């Protein structure tokens, strides 16, 4: 498949309607890189990619916003787990939060590369 060849992506909106979006290989690659660079640089890499490419692609913009909502949400979960270490529950919750964040990052990277608009579970959608 060439870089210019487009692939259809289906979106189910919050009101239940189905819409479609066309994505290129480059768009899917940059959306995947948002998640993969987060494994090395939690905030800097994904934000740079999103800021540089969000005007060019609605698909990349979607995944950039989804990642920012994800990192905000899991930072809150991490702080809550840290606070709960006072009563020892946090020592169990903190590793669980880390493992779940890692798993969701890998799933989101794969789904974005496949051209899907993946909605990461358990996150606050503050950036729309």
The answer, yes or no, to whether residue 2 has pLDDT greater than 50, is: no
User: What does pLDDT average to over the chain?
Assistant: 86
Query: What does the pLDDT look like over 77-101, one tens digit per residue?
Result: 999 999 999 998 889 999 999 999 9
How many Å apart are CA 127 and CA 105, to the nearest integer? 18
Cα distances from 109 to residues 74, 91, 101, in angstroms, run: 17, 28, 12
Task: Name the token pair of 25.
Answer: 């290989």
Listed by start position, the domains of the chain span: 7-113
For the chain, the distance separating the N- and C-terminal CA atoms, rounded to the nearest angstrom, is 32
More confident residue, 88 or 5: 88
Q: Which residues pair with 70 in a beta bridge?
A: none
How many Å apart are CA 92 and CA 115, to the nearest integer? 35
Answering whether pTM is above 0.85, one says no
């Amino acid at each position: 498949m060439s870089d210019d060849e487009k692939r259809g992506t289906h979106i189910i909106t919050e009101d239940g309607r189905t819409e479609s979006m066309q994505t290129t290989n480059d768009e899917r690659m940059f959306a995947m890189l948002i998640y993969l660079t987060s494994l090395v640089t939690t905030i800097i890499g994904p934000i740079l990619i999103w800021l540089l490419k969000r005007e060019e692609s609605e698909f990349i913009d979607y995944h950039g916003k989804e990642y920012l909502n994800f990192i905000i949400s899991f930072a809150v979960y991490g702080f809550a787990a840290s606070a709960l270490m006072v009563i020892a529950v946090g020592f169990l919750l903190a590793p669980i939060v880390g493992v779940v964040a890692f798993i969701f990052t890998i799933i989101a990277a794969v789904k974005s590369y496949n051209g899907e608009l993946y909605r990461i579970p358990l996150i606050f959608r503050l950036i729309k």
